[in-house]
Structure 1
Amino acid sequence: MGTSSDGSQAEDDNANPDLETSVFDYRSLDEIKAEIQKTYLADDRPWVIGYSGGKDSTTTLQLIWYAIADLPDSEQEKPIYVISSDTLVETPKIVNHITSSLDNVNEYAEKEDLPFEAHKVYPDVSDSFFVNLIGRGYPAPNQTFRWCTERLKIDPADNFIMDKVSEHGEVVVILGARKAESATREQVMNLHSIDGSNLSRHSKFANAFVYTPIEDWTVDDVWDYLLQVDCPWGKNNRDLAALYQEADDECPMVIDTSTPSCGNSRFGCWTCTVVEEDKAMENMVDAGDEWLEPLLQFRDLLKATQDPDEKPKYREAKGRRHGNVREKDNGSDGIIPRAYKFEFRKHLLRKLLETEQTVNELRDEEQGYLDLIRDEELKEIRRIWREEEADWEDSVPQIYNDVMDDDLDWIQNDLGSFSTEEAAVLEEVCAEHDIPPKLVKRLLDIELRHHGMKRRAAIYNKIDKVFRENWETIEELTAEIDGEDPERWEYDVEYEELMQ
C-alpha cells in the first residue's frame, strides 16, 4: 500500500467489495478521506468517537484526524468528542496505554487547533464491578449472565451520548466496528443501515446515528494501515502492535450487548470470567510482568465459583430482590444458586485487598501505586452490607483495617447504634429459639430506620416482604433434597487449595 505521510493513497480502479478482500483493492485512502470529510460537513451534528485504545478504534480515530486536519480551518467547526469507557477493572497495562493516548489527543488537538476533545467515562459507583460483585453478591459474569457489560461499558457511554444529544439535539457516534469481525456483527450493522447514507440508526437512541468508516476493512487492512501511517497524536503504532503480539483481538467500544466478550484480549478486564482462561494476562506474566500474577489468581478464584458442583459453597439459595428460592426448571432436581453468600463476599473483599497489597509490593516504584478498589466503592459496599445484610459488625472497616493496617474516613453511626455486642447477644437468643438471626436483624433495622417518622405506613409492607422471604440456606435446602446434613466451608482453606 503506497502512502504519504498524511495517510493519502493513489486511487485503485478495482471495485469489488468483499469482506475477504482488502478494502484497498477497490478503494483508496483518498476516497476514504473524502467520504469522511463529506460526512463531517453534511450537517451540524457533533461526532462522538468510541475509542478503546485497540487497533480498530485507533485506525478509525487516525483516519478521521487526518481527514479533518486537511479541511480548511473555517470548516473545522463541529466538535469531535473522543470517549473511552474505563470499567475500573481494565488490565492495568492497557489503562496506561489508553490514558496516555487520550492525554496526547488533547495535547496535539490544542497544539494544532483541531476540534477534538478526549474524555474518559466511568460507571457510577453503584454500578461498579466490585460494588455489585462484593457489595450485592452478583456472581462472576458468564456467557448467559453478563451483568457487567451494560453497567461498566454501555451505560457510561450512553450517558455521555445523551448529554450531547441534550446539548446539541442530535449526534453521530463513530465506531471502529468491522463486518469481518463476526457474522453477528455484520448482521447487526446491516440491520440498522440507512439506504443511501453513510450513517446507520443507533440501536437505542432515536436522536443518535452511527458512522463506521472501516466497516469493510479486514484485519490485515487495519495493520497494513497502522504500520505504514504515523499516528498523528504522537504515539507509536508499533508499540500498539507489540501489545497485540500474542493477543487474539481488542475489546471494542461497546454500544449494545451483541458485542462478544473481551476476555481473551489484552484490551479486556482483568476480572473477566466469561472465558475459560485469561490467556492474554497469562502471556503478560510469562513475558515478565510477574506483578500481574496475583490479579490472575484472584480472577481464577472467581472463575472457580462457576463450577456447578461448587456453587453451593459460594451461593445463596434465594434471590436478592424478592428473597425467594427458585427450583431448577430443566427437569433436574435442585435449587438454582443465586447471589454470593455474605460470608464469601467478606472473604472476597479481604482477598481483593490482600491482592492489592501483593501487586504493589511486586511493582516498581516508577509504576506507581495501583488501586484495585476505590475508597468510594468500599464505602458503598459498607452501606449496602449494613442496610441489606444487617451487618451490625460493620465488617468493611474491620476487614480494611486488618489487611491495610490503615483506616478511611468512615461515616460513624450512620445507621444507628446496633453493634458487634448486640449482634453477639442476638445470635445466642436466636440459636436458643431456632430463628435465623438475620431475619431478626432485618426487622430491627427496618424499625430503626422508620423510628420517629410521622407516617409509618410503609413499614408494614417492608416487614411483610421480609417475612415472605425464604430463610433456609442453600445447604439446608440441598441437604433436605439429598437427605444429608448441611456442610460448612472454610473459605480461606478452599482458597489455598485452589491456589495450590
Structure 2
Amino acid sequence: MIQGVENPIVTTYVYETFDKLKRECEELNIPLIFKIVKPKLEDRFFVKVIGRGYPTPTNIFRWCTDKLRINPVKQLIDKDEKAVILLGVRSSESEQRDRTISKHRTDNEYYLKQSGSSKNIIFSPIINHALEDVWLTLRYNKLPKSIDFNQIRTIYQDAESECPVYRESKGSSCGNSRFGCWTCTVVRKDKSMGNMIENGYSELKELYAFRNWIAEFRDNTKYRCSYRRNGVKGLGPITLEGRKIILEKLLITEQLSGLNLISKDEINRIYELWEVDKTNLNYQENALQHRI
C-alpha cells in the first residue's frame, strides 16, 4: 500500500477501521459509501518537492495544506452543491484552531463556512465537546463496534509518552497528541513520532531520520536556486542536483524502513519534470543563466 506522507501507523489503522466500518454498515443496512480521496499526481508531496523543487513547507510557505488536504476533498464535494463536510473539529484544541473556527463561524454554532467555497458548509457535531467527552464516547458507546478503543488509545498513548488519565485539565492527557505528515517540516520537532519510536515503533526510525535530514537540507543555499521562477532574485526552488540527492535519500529510506513511500507514477512524473526544467526559461539556478 502506498502510505503517502501521513504517519504510516495511523494510515494503517485508518484503512483497517474503514474496512471494518464497511462490513458493519452492510450488516446494519446503513447505506454509506466509502471513498478515500488522494491528491492529484501533480500535487503529491514528493512530486512537488523532488519534481518541481518546492522547498518543504514552513510557516511562511505552507503550501501543503491546500495541495494535500483541502483540494482532494474539494474535488469530490464540488460535484454536489448540497454536499456537507462533517469534521471532528473542537474548540480549545489550540489557539490557532480557535482563530480559524472564529473566522468561519455562522449563525448556527455547529456549522462553519468552508474556506474557499461559497456553496459548501462544514458540520462540526463535537465542536463544543471536551477531550474527555471524546474518549469516554469511544470507550463506552456500543456502536460503532469497528472502532477499537484499546488500539487507538495505545497509538495515542505511545505518541504522548504518557497517558495517565482522560482529563483535559492539568498535565498531559491521553489523546492530546497531534498526528500529521511524517515529512512535516513546519514544526521544529516531531514529538509524536519521536515518542512512538521510543515506545517500540522501530519502523519509523528511518522516516524520522529522513524528516530531520530534509529539514536541514531545505535551507542549504548550495542546493537552492538564486532566482525564483518568476524571475525575482531570492531563494528559489531546490536545484536539479539537490532534487536528485533527495530522491536517492528517499529511496534508501524506503528500502531500510520496508515501507512503500513513493509510487512508480510519482517517480516517472519526477523524471519528466526534471527534463522540463532543463530547458525551461522560467527556471534558472544562478545569474549566469540566460532568461527571456
Alpha-carbon deviations, 1:450-485, whole Å to 9, x = none? xxxxxxxxxxxxxxx56x9674379xxxxxxxxxxx
Matched with 2:166 is: none
How many residues are paired up?
Answer: 273
Which of 296, 317, 334 does residue 226 from structure 2 map onto?
317
User: 1:224 Cα deviation (Å)?
Assistant: 2.2
Residue pairs, 1:403-418, within 5 angstroms = none
The alignment status of 1:232 with 2:161, answered yes or no, reads no
1:205-251 deviations in Å (ceiling 9; x for gaps): 22212211111111122122222224414231121111111436xxx
Deviation at 1:325, TM superposition (A): 4.0
Aligned residue in 2 for 1:372? 261
The superposition leaves residues 114-143 of structure 1 with CA deviations (integer Å, 9 ceiling, x where unpaired) of: 122222110001000000100111111111
Aligned to 2:4: 88
Q: Which one has the largest radius of gyration? A: 1
Of all paired residues, the percent bearing the same amino acid is: 34
In the alignment, the residues of structure 1 paired with residue 109 and residue 178 of structure 2 have an alpha-carbon distance, to the nearest angstrom, of: 34
Render the CA deviation track for 1:235-271: whole Å, top value 9, x for unaligned.
31121111111436xxxxxxxxxxxxxxx95631111
Is the aligned partner of 1:277 residue 2:179?
A: no
Query: How far did 1:317 drift?
Result: 0.4
- Supply the distance in 2 between the matched residues of 1:389 and 1:161 (Cα, whole angstroms): 38
2:117 aligned with 1:205: yes
Q: Which runs of structure 2 are paired with 1:472-487 in the superposition (5 Å)?
A: 472=287
Distance change (3 Å), C-alpha of 1:268 and 1:473: farther
Opposite residue 194 of structure 1, the aligned amino acid is T
Distance 2:192 2:109 in 1: 38
Match of 1:245 among 154, 157, 160: 157
Which residue identity lines up with residue 125 of structure 1 in the other structure? L
Would the alpha carbon gap of residues 139 and 210 (structure 1) be closer, same or farther in structure 2, given more than 3 Å must change? Answer: same
- Return closer, same or farther for 1:188/1:294 CA change in 2, 3 Å cut-off: closer
2:253 counterpart of 1:355: yes
Distance in 2 separating the partners of 1:87 and 1:142? 22
Whether 1:103 and 2:12 are equivalent positions in the alignment is no
Q: Deviations over 1:161-188 (max 9, x none)?
A: 112x1xxx31221111111213443343
Structure possessing the higher relative contact order (Cα contacts under 8 Å, 6 or more residues apart)? 2
Q: In 2, are the aligned partners of 1:87 and 1:123 still within 8 Å (CA)?
A: no
Specify the SS of the correspondent of 2:140. coil
Q: Deviations over 1:333-363 (max 9, x none)?
A: xxx3211111111011111111111112xxx
Secondary structure class of the residue paired with 2:78: helix
Please, which of 384, 388, 412 is the counterpart of residue 273 of structure 2?
384
**Superposition pairs for residues 253-272 of structure 1, below 5 Å?**
265=177, 267-272=179-184
Q: Measure, in 1, the Cα distance between the counterparts of 2:108 and 2:205.
A: 51
Match of residue 31 from structure 2: 115
2:88 matched residue in structure 1: 176
CA positional deviation for 1:193: 3.4
**Aligned counterparts, 1:410-489, within 5 A:** 471-472=286-287
1:295-314 → structure 2 map (5 Å cutoff): 295-307=207-219, 311-314=220-223
Contact (CA 8 Å) 1:141, 1:272: kept in 2 or not? yes
- CA-atom RMSD, angstroms? 2.5
Q: Distance in 1 between matches of 2:193 and 2:109?
A: 41
C-alpha distance in 2 between matches for 1:470 and 1:282: 36
List gaps (5 residues or longer) in structure 1.
1-85, 249-263, 327-335, 361-369, 391-441, 443-464, 475-500
Q: Is the 8 A contact 1:128 1:152 kept in 2?
A: yes
Asked whether 1:152 is paired with 2:41, we answer no
Q: CA deviation at 1:279?
A: 1.6
Separation in structure 2 between the aligned mates of residue 190 and residue 144 of structure 1, nearest angstrom? 22
Taking the aligned partners of 1:141 and 1:105, their CA distance within structure 2 comes to: 34
Distance across 2 between alignment mates of 1:346 and 1:267: 29
Q: In the alignment, is the contact (CA less than 8 A) between 1:109 and 1:117 conserved in 2?
A: no
Evaluate the alpha carbon distance shift between residue 272 and residue 231 of structure 1 in structure 2; reply closer, same or farther with a 3 A threshold: farther
Partners of 2:285 and 2:211 in 1: CA distance:
31
CA distance in 2: counterparts of 1:205 and 1:87, whole angstroms: 29
Q: Which residue of 2 aligns with 1:342?
A: 240
Per mean C-alpha deviation after superposition, the further-off stretch among 290-299 and 199-208 is 199-208
Q: Is the 8 A contact 1:87 1:128 kept in 2?
A: no
| TM-score, normalised with respect to structure 2 | 0.85
* SS across alignment from 1:220: helix
Unaligned runs of 5+ in 2: 161-175
For the residue of structure 1 that corresponds to 2:183, the secondary structure is coil
Contact 1:194 1:200 in 2 (8 A): yes
Aligned mates of 1:276, 1:338 — CA distance in 2? 22
